[in-house]
Every structure is written in C-alpha cells, then in structure tokens.
Structure 1
Amino acid sequence: MNLAIPGFDYQRITVDGDIALNTAVGGEGDPIVLLHGFPQTHLMWRHVAADLAADHTVIVPDLRGYGASDKPAASGPDTYSKRTMAADIVALAERLGHSRFALAGHDRGALVGVRAGLDHPDRVSHLAILDVLPTLDTWAVLHGADAAVAFHLYLMAQPPGLPERMIAASADEFFGFFLDAWTKDAAAIPGPVRAEYLRASREAVASIVADCRATAGIDIEHDKADRANGVRLRMPVTVVQQDWGAALGYDAAAVWRAWAPDLDHRLTNAGHFMAEEDPAMVGKALRDLIVR
C-alpha cells in the first residue's frame, strides 16, 4: 500500500481463520464502516472518511480479495460470496470493539453491505448504498443491448480460467477503462490514486473475478431465498445513485423499497465514483441517514 488516508491508523485485522483485512481507523464517536467498490480500494473514501472522523469512529477496510487485504484462493463459491464478505465486516467491527455500527458501501462494497444488513440486522444500525441495485435485481434489469453497460459482469461470470487470463493480459487497460468511463470528473481521481487503484487491481485479478463470479451464482441464490422468505432490511436505508432507472427502463426506488421499507432514495448528477466526485453530497447523505 503506497497511499493512506491522512490521520488514520492502519491495522491488519484477522476476521476469518487466517484472513486479515487491511483497515484504516480514525476519529472517535459512534462507529461507521465504509466499504469500497470496483476497481478501487479503501482510498475511495479518503475525503468522506476524513469528514466523518470529526465525530465518528470511521472504519475503512479493503475488502477480502482487494487492496492490501488477504486474497485467498477461491476454494468454492462461498470464498467470495457476499455472505462470507459480510461476515468479515461484522467480525472486523467486533474485533475493534463495536457490536453495532452504521455501514455504507459503494458498488461491490454496497452488495456486501446489503448482505450484512440482511444477515446481521442486529449489528447494522443504518445502511447506505451508493450506485448499485441488489444482486438479484441487477441481473433482472440487464437485458438486450442495454446489458452491454455491464459486459464485465458477464465476462467474469464465466468458469475459472479464461476471464482471469484475458484480464491479466491487459489488466491496466481493463481496470482503467472503468475508471475513465464511469467518471464524469476525471480530476476526482488524481494520477497517484489512479495508479494505486490500477496496481492493486493488477495484483488481485483472480480474487476480483471470483468476487464477481459469486454475484452471478451463489449470491443470487441467497437473494432468492431471502425474497421467498420475506427477509428485508429492517434498518433505515439511504440509496444514492445515478438515474440508471431512467436509462434502463425501471423504477429504481421501487426496486429498493421492496427490500428496504424505511428508504430514502436519492438521485445524483455525479458519476459512479461519487464519493470522490462529490464527497460533500455523500457525506451529507450519510449524516442525514445516521440521525434517522
């Protein structure tokens, strides 16, 4: 890890057997955990984390398989299921002395956050989601030519072997494509941070693919079971996202409300990497959530 969030202390915290998560911790007060997305690391939260640390204990890990956290080889579909990754986060907070905490996630981290909220409602007090749909609904709204926007999900859903080789052969171009295409303000991800994201992703191709492969398999099964059993998010939930619903022809707020009855759904003009493009907006949304 070459870059760090200023003023935060770094630890490697063991959460599952011998799996250690690289974790930045700063501030004092009620705890909030911030989970990053693809193809990033915990650094995507650097602005928001610094703001929240004025009056919260802010916990910012690299997810398993990403950044400077451990990257176990996938021994089966559970290794990178969102259920397993959510259990990591619950264990991480507990190791730091927090049995209950607010949780915010972006992209892949948001999917982990949703699963944490569904599986551990006694631990997650408030949940914020940035720019995704729940796993089951993501696949449901992608169809026809419009699904090309998520070509990477279909590539990484394929059996082990070919996706990893294809991506590793041009890793910087592959991951850099998303950093460029999904950003409305290129200055929001300055050169050193972009280079760190590319380096970290280049070194984590197998685990990143395994994470996305799980989302096309076991994660769907977990969502289907919860939907069939009427399991929903019981805590206050805030969703901030681009207007993908208008672009792809669905009602995003209605999709989320089916999972989260206590919902505050907000649209933004920022790009996908909104915590870096508009950290003030994201920080306000999190603070508004925490007082609900």
Structure 2
Amino acid sequence: MAPVIPGFDYRRVPVADGVSLNVAVAGSGSPVVLLHGFPQTHLMWRHVAADLAADHTVICPDLRGYGASDKPPANADTDTDPAAYAKRTMAADIVALARALGHDRFALAGHDRGALVAFRAGLDHPDTITHLACLDVLPTLDMWDVLHGTTAAVGFHLFLMAQPPGLPERMIAACPDDFFGHFLDLWAGDPRAIPAEVRAAYLDACRAAVPSIVADYRASAGVDVDHDRADRDGARRLTMPLTVIQQDWGAALGYDAAALWRAWADDLDHRTVGYGHFMAEEAPADIAKALRELLTRQRKL
C-alpha cells in the first residue's frame, strides 16, 4: 500500500469529463492548494502540508497524469486531444477541484511541474488565485529561452520527452526505475529527505504513468509555449502576490532568474536558496515559513 500523509482524508474528485484527481485534504481555515513536481506525487508536500493544516484547509492533489489521478490519453498522432496535458488544462483541473471542495478562491503553491500549472492558473484565473508560490522552476517560455549550448545538457529529459509520440515512451518504459530514479538521485541535495518507502512510491507511480508524464513534458515544448508567448506578447501579468524560491541555476546557465520572473509579476518576492531541488522535503520548515509569509501579503492595487 502506498504511503499517505498522516491525518489527511483521501478522496477522488471529478474535475473534467473522464478525469478525476486523487486528493488529500486536511485542516480548516483559508484554503491552500499544493501541487507536486516531477518525478513525484502529492507526497512530496507531506511535511509542509501537515504544518499548514494547523490553521489552513490544505488540498494536495496528484496532477492529472500522475500518481493515482486519472491519465487521459494524449498522443498528437491520434484523434485524442493534444492539449490534454497543456498547463491551461491542468490549471483548470485545479480550479474545478477547489470549487468542488467548496472554495471559489484559494492560495496556490507548486513545485517543478506543479509550479508551471500554478503559473498558468495565476494567469488564467487571476480572480480565483489569491496568492501564488512557484518553487524551483522558470516559466516555460523562459526555460526554453535560457537552455542553449552545452549547458542545455542539464535538461536532456526536456528535449527527449519533446519528441513525437512513440520513441520517448518506449525508451523510458524500457528502464523506468533507472530513468526516474536518476532525477531523484541527481537533484537531491540531501538524499535522506526522500526515505526508501517514499522513493519506492514515486517510482511505482512513475512506472505506471510513462505515457502521461511524457505527454505533460511534450505539451511544454508545444502548446504551453504558445500560451506563454501569447501572454507575453499581450503583456499579461500575474497580479497576485507571488513568491518564487529557486536554486541558483542562473549562475551556471547565465541568466538572472529574478529578472525573468519580474517580467511576469507585479508583486514578486524572489528567493535564492542553497537546498537541492526537492526543497519541500529537504527544508520543509523553511518552505512552510515562506508560504505563511506569502499568505499574509496583501494584493497590490
């Protein structure tokens, strides 16, 4: 049996035609939704979620295509919807999830892939998202802009999963534990932060979701770029208080992360930290503190 977040109630919530999300809920008070990254599930928030649930309603879903949530097909060379894993679609899932649980407005925090969904939700649903946090990611359009030359090798998986349907799925499915485990090992600043039973749960979940995980990444090389570019060209911005917490990848890849985020946000608190990528598991007290500080900020008029 897969690990759970102690004290959280688990349920399945329909959010779109044929798509239900696995979600863990606990606490009471103003709602906060926490979105996981790759190659993880909602379990990555277990420490932070327990902290915030002391005085907030905390909602931790598995994103569509991940964990125990539904995984609609999305192959561009078939008659299935090529936008099934667009971040716009996944953001709409989260808004529908919150509304199904009785919340028309809520704070939203995301890590990695979940941060891209959170970013899109902030742009598409500005009157719904009260506060926004994005952990260790750049907006999709900026990410592709800064990856160039030999330094782009750090993002080899982005290029692999951007390829047309077929080859990436077969390659990853041939050795899924090696592929997904590579990132759990490489990106962890403190391997002890992901205990054996949680690591096993992540690998089990990813092994069962190769096509949908690839589809999520493929969308980020296609439809998500189109959506970001249209918003940047139209000067569409994030209007809610935004906290961004990142490793200092800019020093290695040659960009100013704070400046990139500032171009999207009216009210930005950008923090550079020394943790590994899995910061909600490596430094949960710090991340919970940062989220609490975000939740006290007032939206600028």
Q: TM-score, normalised by structure 1?
A: 0.99
Cα displacement (A) at 1:246: 1.1
Q: CA RMSD in A?
A: 0.6
User: SS of the counterpart of 2:169?
Assistant: helix
Describe the SS at the equivalent of 2:60: strand
* Aligned mate of 1:148, from 153, 162, 172: 153
- AA matched with 2:201: E
| Count of aligned pairs between the two proteins | 292
Distance 1:18 1:247 in 2: 43
1:77 Cα shift?
Answer: 2.2
The 2-side partners of 1:170 and 1:261 are apart by: 44
Aligned match for 2:207, one of 202, 209, 233: 202
1:225 CA displacement: 0.5
Q: Could you tell me which amino acid in structure 2 is paired with residue 117 of structure 1?
A: G
CA distance in 2, matches of 1:18, 1:80: 14
Instruction: Please give the residue correspondences for 1:1-292 in structure 2 after superposition, counting only pairs within 5 Å.
Output: 2-74=2-74, 75-292=80-297
Q: Which runs of 5+ in 1 are unaligned?
A: none
SS in 2 for 1:214: helix
In structure 2, C-alpha distance between the alignment counterparts of 1:173 and 1:27, rounded to whole Å: 37
Q: Give the C-alpha shift of residue 245 in structure 1.
A: 1.0
Displacement over 3 Å in runs of 4+:
none
> Which ranges of structure 2 fall in alignment gaps of 5 or more residues?
75-79
Question: How far apart in 2 are the matches of 1:257 and 1:276?
Answer: 27
Specify the SS of the correspondent of 2:107.
Answer: strand
User: CA–CA distance in 2 between the matches of 1:184 and 1:17?
Assistant: 39
Give the drift of 1:69: 0.2
Deviations 1:176-232 (Å, cap 9, x if unpaired)?
000000001000000000000000000000000000000000000000000111100
User: What is the one-letter code of the residue matched to 1:282?
Assistant: I
Which amino acid letter does the alignment assign opposite residue 239 of structure 1?
V
Matched residues in 2 for 1:20 and 1:196: separation?
20
SS of the residue 1:29 aligns to: coil
Letter in 2 for 1:285: A
Q: Which amino acid aligns with 1:48?
A: V
CA distance in structure 2 between the aligned counterparts of 1:185 and 1:34, rounded to whole angstroms: 22
Quote the offset at 1:126 in angstroms: 0.3
Percent identical among aligned pairs is 73
TM-superposed CA distance for 1:133, in Å, is 0.3
Q: Could you tell me which amino acid in structure 2 is paired with residue 289 of structure 1? A: L
Q: Structure 1 residue 17: deviation in Å?
A: 1.4
TM-score scaled by length of structure 2: 0.96
Identify which range, 92-101 or 76-85, moves more after superposition. Answer: 76-85
1:18 Cα offset (Å): 2.1
Amino acid at match of 2:54: A
Cα deviation, 1:103-125, whole Å, max 9, x if unaligned, reads: 00000000000000000001000
Deviations 1:14-72 (A, max 9, x none): 00012000000000000000000000000000000000000000000000000000001
Q: Distance in 2 between matches of 1:237 and 1:261?
A: 8
Report deviation, 1:76. 2.7
Letter in 1 for 2:182: F
